[in-house]
Structures are given as structure tokens and as C-alpha cells.
Structure 1
Amino acid sequence: MSWLTAEEALQALKTKPQTLYANVSRGRIRAKPDPADPRRSLYQAADVQRLAERHAGRRKAETVAAETIRWGDPVLTSAISTIIGGRLFYRGRDAATFAEAATLEQTAALLWNSAETLSSGTGAGHASPSLQAAFLALAGRLTSDLPSLGRSQAALRREAHGVLSTVADALAPGLAGELLHLRLAASWQRPDAADCLRRALVLLADHELNASTFAARVTASAGAALSASVLSGLATLTGPLHGAAWQGIDALIEAASGFGAEQAIRRTLAQGNHLSAFGHPLYPEGDVRALALLSHFPLPPQFADVREIGEEIVGDKVNVDFALAAMAAAFDLPREAPIIVFSLARSAGWLAHAMEQIESGQLIRPRARYAGPAPEAVTGR
């Protein structure tokens, strides 16, 4: 990964320092402290080059449109959440600060712009949290849930309560009316993990237009039921580049246990593999969600070694995927705990975005830039 000084970045961009700093704060250019002088910053060369090309106006409109789907400018207007200056905000409220005392139920009410706090589901006995059960329960709703079009926001919010309760009963089974983080901790028989689980659920509830949220909005834009939107989001979340990134972190920790953190990291990088534990394009100074969560439990030794050595070698700080995996290890939670927590939390955000998309009345339908064989000549007869 190549880095530029401020002078080199400004020369490439042909812009003012204020514009460079603004692009960093918006997550368009990754930055890190200069090891030779901590008072100075270095800037990711690929990010600078991408913006320089955009500003030069050398790209066609369809190319610009295509790149908005890959870490580009926002492609949809939303009032739900945003990342500004390295901080995550839920409807204008700092998410890390909000997570100090809030529950997922209160977060859902905030994201849904609702005065009514969510109830914690109907209760589902004492089964273990199950991602498979969540998929089956959501799929089961699709045959009876109404399409979302032509219905008021009040009616959709009532249905959103039901959909989130369905997800909660699969991912955090427990007593009806009990707060979801308490149900989750009880289902894993780890009451000491309850407060960290609460914080994680709040911090992960929404994150602007990530891949799974975009999938949920596309589904909602077609007028499908809210349960279909959450099912789309959940399916997308299971990808290894999104919510299932914890699996790569587990593999890294296992390798570090075998031959040390430094060798595990160096071998992974030498093989050309991405280290999912480090960095996030929207947080050049470090994932604020990870920092907010990691400060509330002691890191297991192996995770502490990987964090210290990895941040030095890679040059990026650990992210929320690392924090989730570390939390699971610290409290001896089941191996799949990170994806369970992620899925339960993000369901609240998917529903918020689905309802916002429905209210916009717009179908999300990008055009494709054809790159196949030349079409046959059409002759008029």
C-alpha cells in the first residue's frame, strides 16, 4: 500500500489543503500518522489518484455513476445515519455516546424516528440463538406479509415491530418483554457479557449505505414486504467481506496461536490476502465502533498481540469486526456469536432504511454498462 505526503497529495489533486482534509474527514481519502513525524499525516495514494481523476473530468458520466457504488459518494439520500469526521451519527446523535446507556430497543426507535420504544419480541422458549432459524422465520412471513406500497408509515412501523420481534425470537430467544441484550446473554449463559452485548448491538444497528443495507433498500424499493427487505439484508450480511469477516479474524488468531502474531500476519500478507481485522475506508483514524467496544473488556492475550503487532505492520487500526471477535473470545461466547450480534443489531437499521425507501416512492434501478459481444446488426424489413 503506497502513501503520499500532504505536499504530494495536494500536487496530485491540484487543490487546497482544506479540501484535502475535508476528503479525509468524509472517508474519501484514507490517512495515517507519518511514522517519521507524528505531527504530519500520510495519505493513501490510490484514494488520491481516484479523486484526482474525478476532478480532472477525464471520466465519462457512466464511469462516475458506476464508481459511486464502490466506496463513492452516497448514491441515496438518507436521514438515518452518517459518518462525519471519523464519528458515526444516528439521526444526528453520536452513536458511541448513545451506546453508553442505550439499548437496541431505544436505538430502533431512534432510527425509525418513532416515539414508541420497541417491545422485545414475543419470547421463544429457551432455544439457542440460530441464524438458520432467523432465515426460516423471515421466509415464513413472506407468504402472509403484505407488500409495503400504499401503506402509511404508522402501519409500516407496526409491521417493523413484528418483523424485528421475529428476528429477535430466533437470534435472542428468551422471555417476552426482557431486553434483547439480556435475552442474548442469558441464552448463552453469560450474564457478565450483557453490558458489552448491549453496547455492541447499539454500535452495529446502522452504518449508512453498506452492502446489506443497500440490498434491503433495493428490495423495499420494489414494494416488497418489510420481512423481504430484512431477509435480503441478512443474506448479504453473511458474505466474508461484510458481516462474516469475523471468520477470517478467527483464522488469524488461530494462526497466531500456532507460530506467533507477527509470523501469522506476515504470512497472510505475503500470500496476498487481506487482513479483515484492520482498517475501514470510512474511518482513516480508526473505527470508532471498535474503540467504543474494546474499552469495556480486557483483550485476550492473543488478540492483544495481534492488535499491537498488526497495527504496526499494516498501518491501520483494528476495526469493529476484530472487536466483535475479541468480545466473543473474552466472554467465551459461541464461535458464531459475532454474526448473531451483527444480524440482530443491523435488522433494526435495515427496517429503518426499508421504511425510508418506501416513503421516497422511488424504485432503485441502475443501468448496466454493456461489455459483451457486439450486438448483431438490425436490418429493417
Structure 2
Amino acid sequence: MSWLTAEQALNLLGTKSQTLYANVSRGRIRAKPDPTDTRRSLYFADDVKRLAARHAGRRKTEAVAADAIQWGDPVLPSALSTISHGRLFYRGQDAAKLAEYATLEEVACLLWDMKRPLRLEGQGGNYEPSALAAVFSALAERASTDLPSLGRSLPALRNEAESVFGTVADALAPGLSHVPLHLRLAEAWNQPDAAELIRRSLVLLADHELNASTFTARITASAGATLSAAALSGLSTLTGPLHGGAWQSVRSLMDLAASIGAEEAVRSYLAEGRSLAAVGHPLYPDGDARARALLACFTLPPLFAEVRRAAEELVGEPVNVDFALTAMTSAYHLPRDAPLIIFALARTVGWLAHAMEQSASGHLIRPRARYVGPPVE
């Protein structure tokens, strides 16, 4: 039998002496007096090595999980979308190629795996400046009355998803049910020339793996909540300035550029240590594929072109989809919050797809916390 000194055991375990003694008292590590010095103990090597391996595995798992939840490796399986080699795919189809011809309704059928065309029951009406507030209210009302998603078949959930999406569409893009959503938005905003770019934007923004709002929607669905509640939780997360609200940071940069010049505005941000929401994306090291697909279809207003040139040169990364949406909004004279409205309408499709997928799995999403607070007794 092989025995270790306390120092050797502690080096293997990577713990404090109190933990070593506690493991001995609990019978996890066998110990005996040191024949050369009865004031010291020796510890059975196999017991120490077994515990050390277990602790190392736990630490590795915790480190991987912590890294994964912040732009890391995938944390749960999904058949809906992925980013691979700088391209975005919906169920294996390149989103940029789909954006050349598809509508959001067709992408919904793809992501929801529906075998029939989408049927939305539009109620007509006019676009209201408070459209976002209206959709929050409508989803909140439904969330308290719709049936929970738990224990229901996929066909039943798809029908309900269609209804929830119709509720969102009525608030954000009011119009007749037979009119495609991009045309309804263009008409509501009195900018028919923008319809084609709106269509492309809606397709490109329909889903994006486990972004913050989608992960939130999946957590909600995993508890068995209603699909409307899942969409509502996704929408709430989307409004944050680090997610769908990033257009406001781009708008602020443009306002500053209009005042002091494009290069000076970018330099001012960098000099103050402020990040530029207009450039870069952690999942697209060579540039946001969605931004490329949009920017190739219209001419940037002069100031946006100047800011793009200065930002890409000084930061060293291409502009992203938040910049592209804000530039499109300016180029086609859309409402100031058009980027968020487009984002919310499109991403509702993805939230509902993920909510249904999560419901079908039957698993509750419940991560553990890595405690870093005061020592516990």
C-alpha cells in the first residue's frame, strides 16, 4: 500500500488542510500515524487520488459550463439554427440565400416544420406609434389565459404558435391577413419602396441560435408555460441595449457623427473606452453574414458610409446587423424604432420555434450556480 504525507495529499487535492481532515473524519480518506513521527499522519494514496480526480472533473465541468454560457460552446441540442463557418443556417438552409426570395411566413413554416402555409388572421387597422407597448399588452393578456404548453402535441402547439404570432403581427404590422408581413409593414410606414429590404431583414433575423432572448424563451417554455408567455419573455429580453436595443447605441453614434464628424465620433467613443455597437459580433469573426446580406442591397446614406469606413478602419472589425438595420431605417425614412419592430416581429418566429422544441423535449432548464459568496457553515 502507498501512503502520502499531508503536503503531498494537499498538492494532489488542491484544497486546504481543513478539507483534508474533513475527508478523513468522514471516511473518504484512510489515514494512519507516520512511523517516523507520530505527531504527523500519512494518507492512503489511492483514496487521495480518487478524490482528486473527482474534484478535477467537477472543476472542469463547472469551468466549461461557465464559459459556455458566455459566447461558448453549445449548451443544449437544437435542430433549428446554427452558425457555421461564418454563415447562418435555418434547418440546414443558408439564411442569406433564403433572404433572396423567402418571406417571414415561409421561414416560420420551415422553422416550425409545418407542412402547410401559415395562416394569420389579421384584423386590419392602422399602425400605432406605441406598437411595442401594444404587443406587450396583448401577449401578457394571452399568457394568463392560454393553455400551458406541457403535455400537448406538436400539431396543437403549432396551431397555437400560429395564433400567438398572429397576435404579435397584428400589433407590430397591422393589415389584412392575406398580405405578406413585409408589405404590411411597408404600407403601415408609408414606404412601399422599403418592402423588399424589410422582407430580407425579417428573414435574416428570424432566428439566431441561443441568443439571450431565445434562451429566455426556452427557459420559460421548459417550465411548461404558455407559448405566449415564452414569446413575452423573449420580447422583454430583446429590448435590452445589449440585444435588440443596440440600434439606439448606433443611432447615438450617428447623431454624434452628424455633430462632430464620422472619424471624430468613432475616436471619441474609443478614447472614452466605450464599445461601438455598430461593429463586430463574437460569432462572426470575419463579419456578420446578416449585415453583408443587407448592405449589399441598398446604398448607404453618406454619413453612414463615412462612419462605416472610420469604424472598420479604427476598430478593425466589419459593421454588424445593428448598423445595417439602422442605416436601412435612415435610407428609407422609416420610423426611428423600426430596427426593434423588425427585430421583434422576425424573432417571434424563432422564439416560438424554440419554445415548441423545448416543450417537446420535456426537460426543465435549471443550471446550477457556482457559489462565490461568503463561506457557508
Give the TM-score taking structure 1 as reference length.
Answer: 0.82
Tell me the equivalent position of 2:187. Answer: 186
Q: Counterpart in 2 of 1:106? A: 106
1:240 aligns with 2:241: yes
SS of the residue corresponding to residue 364 of structure 1 reads coil
Residue 355 of structure 2 is matched in structure 1 by: 354
Question: 1:104-253 maps to which residues of 2 (within 5 A)?
Answer: 104-128=104-128, 130-253=131-254
1:61 lines up with 2:61 in the alignment? yes
Secondary structure class of the residue paired with 2:360: helix
Deviates more, 1:204-213 or 1:122-131: 122-131
1:1-150 → structure 2 map (5 Å cutoff): 60-128=60-128, 130-150=131-151
For residue 371 of structure 1, report the CA deviation from its aligned partner. Answer: 1.7
**Aligned pairs, how many?**
321
Write the distance in 2 (CA, Å) between the matches of 1:189 and 1:57: 60
- Matches of 1:89 and 1:127, distance apart in 2: 32
The 5-angstrom pairing of residues 284-299 of structure 1 reads: 284-299=285-300
Q: Distance in 2 between matches of 1:331 and 1:58?
A: 54
**Mean CA deviation greater in 120-129 or 101-110:** 120-129
Contact 1:124/1:170 (<8 A) preserved:
no
SS at match of 1:178: coil
Shift of 1:167: 0.3
Deviations 1:324-349 (A, max 9, x none): 00000000011100000000000000
Contact 1:138–1:228 at 8 Å: present in 2 too?
yes
Answer yes or no: is the 8 Å Cα contact 1:121–1:176 preserved in 2.
yes
Question: Offset of 1:176 from its aligned partner?
Answer: 2.2
In structure 1, the residue matched to 2:17 is none
Residue deviations 1:211-269, cap 9 Å, x none? 00000000000000000000000000000000000000000001111111111001101
Match for residue 302 of structure 1? 303
Q: For residue 336 of structure 1, what is the aligned residue in structure 2?
A: 337
- 2:327 — aligned with what? 326
What is the alpha-carbon distance in structure 1 between the residues aligned to residue 256 and residue 121 of structure 2? Answer: 40
Q: Partner amino acid for 1:106?
A: E
Structure 2 Cα separation of the partners of residues 60 and 271 of structure 1: 37
- Please identify the structure whose Cα radius of gyration is greater: 2
For the aligned residue pairs, the C-alpha RMSD in angstroms reads 1.4
Deviation at 1:57, TM superposition (A): 9.3
Runs of 4+ in 1 over 6 A off after TM superposition: none
Structure 2, unpaired ranges of 5+: 1-55
- 3-state SS in 1 of match to 2:245: helix
Q: Aligned to 1:282, what secondary structure does the other structure show?
A: coil
Q: Is the 8 A contact 2:122 2:174 kept in 1?
A: no
Structure 1 unpaired stretches of 5+? 1-55, 377-381
| Partner of residue 6, structure 2 | none
Checking the alignment, whether the CA contact within 8 Å between 2:122 and 2:166 is kept in structure 1 is: yes
Q: For residues 59 and 271 of structure 1, what CA distance do their matches in structure 2 show? A: 37
Counterpart contact for 2:120–2:163, Cα < 8 Å: no
Q: Which residue of 1 aligns with 2:266?
A: 265
> C-alpha offsets along residues 173-218 of structure 1, whole Å, 9 cap, x if unaligned?
1122211000000000000000000000000000001000000000
Compare 287-296 and 58-67 and name the one that shifted more: 58-67
Say if 1:128 and 1:188, in contact at 8 Å, map to a contact too.
Answer: no
2:36 aligned partner = none
Q: Could you tell which deviates more after superposition, 59-68 or 335-344? A: 59-68
Q: Closer, same or farther in 2 for the Cα pair 1:371/1:196, shift >3 Å? A: same
The residue matched to 2:89 in structure 1 has which SS?
A: strand
2: CA distance, partners of 1:260 / 1:122:
45
Q: 1:59 offset after TM fit, Å?
A: 5.6
| Equivalent pair of 1:105/1:179 in contact (CA under 8 Å) | yes
Q: Give SS of 2:371's match.
A: coil
- 1:144-197, Cα deviation, whole Å (9 max, x unpaired): 100001100000000000000000000001122211000000000000000000
Partners of 1:245 and 1:276 within 8 A in 2: yes
2 CA distance for matches of 1:109 and 1:315? 38
Q: Distance in 1 between matches of 2:96 and 2:248?
A: 25
Letter in 2 for 1:118: L
CA contact (8 A) 2:83 2:283 kept: yes
Does the aligned pair in 1 maintain the 2:206–2:348 contact within 8 Å?
Answer: yes
The CA distance in 1 between the partners of 2:83 and 2:322, in whole Å, is 17
CA positional deviation for 1:123? 2.3
Q: Structure 1: which amino acid aligns with 2:370? A: R
Structure 1 residue 63, shift from structure 2 partner: 2.0
Structure-1 separation of matches of 2:321 and 2:163: 28
Distance 2:313 2:57 in 1: 37
